[in-house]
Structure 1
Amino acid sequence: MKPYSGKNALVFGGASGIGLVTAQLLQERGAKVTVADLSDPNGDLHGAPWLRCDVREPAQVEAAVQTAADGKNLDWLVYSAGIQHYGTVITTPVEEYDMVQSVNARGAFLAARAAIPRMKAGGAIVIVSSVQALACQDGVAAYAASKGTLEALVRAMAVDHAKDHIRVNSVMPGTVDTPMVRASADSFRGDGPLEEILAEWGSSHPLQRVAQPAEVAQVIAFLLSDEASFLTGSSYRVDGGLLAQLPVRL
């Protein structure tokens, strides 16, 4: 029997990047996986149901959770939906700030709000956050604020629902080779090759490279599993040592 047989998981933002690879990993290990996303995973999930869902819409989020639970219980929730916009508090339009918050943070609130009542004891939630909740590059005011909101939400939910035996944690990736990161790199690369700017970004990490989505997915799967049964309310940096270093070079 596969280790996750009998587990019912819902992954928001599971059509690409970290969410997709996490859904694939959970499925490979025997879990029943449902993906909720605006985009179609295009057959990458080997028959796992895909639910078209705009995480900004409470009714759509509720419907996705209800469908995934299928009249039974939901064991695991992964929230990996997210968007990135660049700008300071001066240059970021209010509407853009609201959009980033609504997808990255409010969507996680809506997903948990719908899922927790359908979770039994032993349930687990993992939120995909970012190291930018703790330390920022230039021009990420809206994105960093949304990830900081997520971190506070994780702690609050962990405390509130410990009595229900539901655990809540987050992962905080550094730079990961995902479609979103590649789109960002493309906007900054000028005339140079895309792989060159990804390598440059990777060089800022002590491990001298960007992460692959599977390296984050492995941590998510662990935090969902019973092997992490005493872990809740915590954030796990999957950042190649990025936040362990000082920028001063000796």
Structure 2
Amino acid sequence: MSELTGRGAIITGGGRGIGLACARLIAERGGAVVLLGHDREMVEGAAATLRDDGLEATAVVADISDEADVEAAIAEAATVLGSIDILVNNAAIQPYGTVASMSPGEWDTVLGVNLRGTYLACHHALPHMVKQGRGSIVNIASVQGLANQARVAAYATSKGGMMALTRSIAIDFGRAGIRANAVCPGCIDAPMTHFSASETAPGREAETISQWGNSQPLGRVGRPEEVAEVVAFLASDRASFCSGAEFKVDGGLMASLGVALPD
């Protein structure tokens, strides 16, 4: 498939997991990608891996929660890509804590990366999209923005905010030719899931992730590539009438009441 040929894409948190899977698939379908991340070694290594496979990829190092960094990164990406047609906001962190246990500083850090970072990337990318009269923004939210597990108050709040932000962008910029959608993954075999399992059940990471997968109606954990398929679709013209929507990629998790009936 070459449906994204000539399109320039920025993927925040593009160095691993879902972000890297999105970058790879967009590039495989013809797009040129900029991987934006704060860990220089990781993001440059990821871009090099894509280039080794014959794909067009560039690394840009930036702290997504810092406005000056993001402004400079978007400007650099625009120069590298020629146009910013696709923005995938994937960068996120998920420390555990309740409203009572999490300090204001920790709360601000989570909201700073997950929600402020998404706002900043959109804020600086949107003028480019408006000028060219087209663009697709895909925000990687979470099923936790729809229904929460325990001890993820800041993360769930940030993801709920991302979905509200997505709707606002879709409404405010639709007439400018810009679409905005959110993707809500369930339990995916990605670094954040492994971190969560190690925090939740130290020493029983594999068992815990397997249990989480079994809780989804499809009975397994998802793959980053399965999320990327939805992202690439939303980035393409095949999704030309999709905007302001939330797409669940959760193995059916949110379709279930979670009530176990007797066999």
Specify the TM-score bucket, using the shorter chain as the normaliser: over 0.9
Match of 1:189 in 2: 201
Alignment pair present for 1:105 and 2:110:
no
Alpha-carbon separation, structure 2, partners of 1:238 and 1:74: 25
On the 8 A contact 2:7/2:83 being kept in 1, the answer is no
How large is the RMSD of aligned CA atoms in angstroms? 1.3
1:60-108 residue CA offsets vs partner (Å, 9 max, x unmatched): 1111111111184211101000000111110111111100000000000
Count of aligned positions: 249
Check the 8 A contact 2:3/2:236 in 1, yes or no: no
* CA distance in structure 1 between the partners assigned to 2:183 and 2:135 by the alignment: 17
Moved more, 209-218 or 61-70: 61-70
Q: CA deviation at 1:249?
A: 1.2
- Report the counterpart of residue 17 of structure 2 in structure 1: 17
Q: Using the alignment, how far apart are the partners of 1:8 and 1:56 within structure 2?
A: 22
Aligned ranges 1:5-84 → 2 under 5 Å: 5-39=5-39, 40-41=42-43, 42=45, 43-46=48-51, 48-70=57-79, 72-84=82-94
Cα drift, residue 122 of structure 1:
2.7
Identify the structure with the greater helix proportion.
Answer: 2
In structure 2, the residue matched to 1:92 is 102
1:216 is aligned to 227
Separation in 2, partners of 1:167, 1:2: 20
C-alpha separation in 1, matches of 2:83 and 2:163: 26
Q: Which moved more, 1:150-159 or 1:181-190?
A: 181-190
Q: Which residue of 203, 208, 211 maps to 1:200?
A: 211
Q: Which residue of 1 aligns with 2:136?
A: 124
How far off its partner does 1:121 sit? 2.1
5+ unaligned residues in a row in structure 1: which ranges? none
Q: Deviations over 1:7-54 (max 9, x none)?
A: 111111100110011001111111011111012231332261101110
SS at match of 1:81: coil
- Runs (4+) off by over 4 Å: none
Report the identity percentage. Answer: 45
Q: In terms of mean alpha carbon deviation, does 33-42 or 102-111 score higher?
A: 33-42
SS in 1 for 2:134: strand
Q: 1 CA distance for matches of 2:89 and 2:207?
A: 30
Q: Tell me which residue corresponds to 1:4.
A: 4
- Residues 113-162 of structure 1 show CA distances to partners (whole Å, capped at 9, x for unaligned) of 00010112231000000001110011110100001110110000100001
Structure 2, unmatched stretches of 5+, are: none
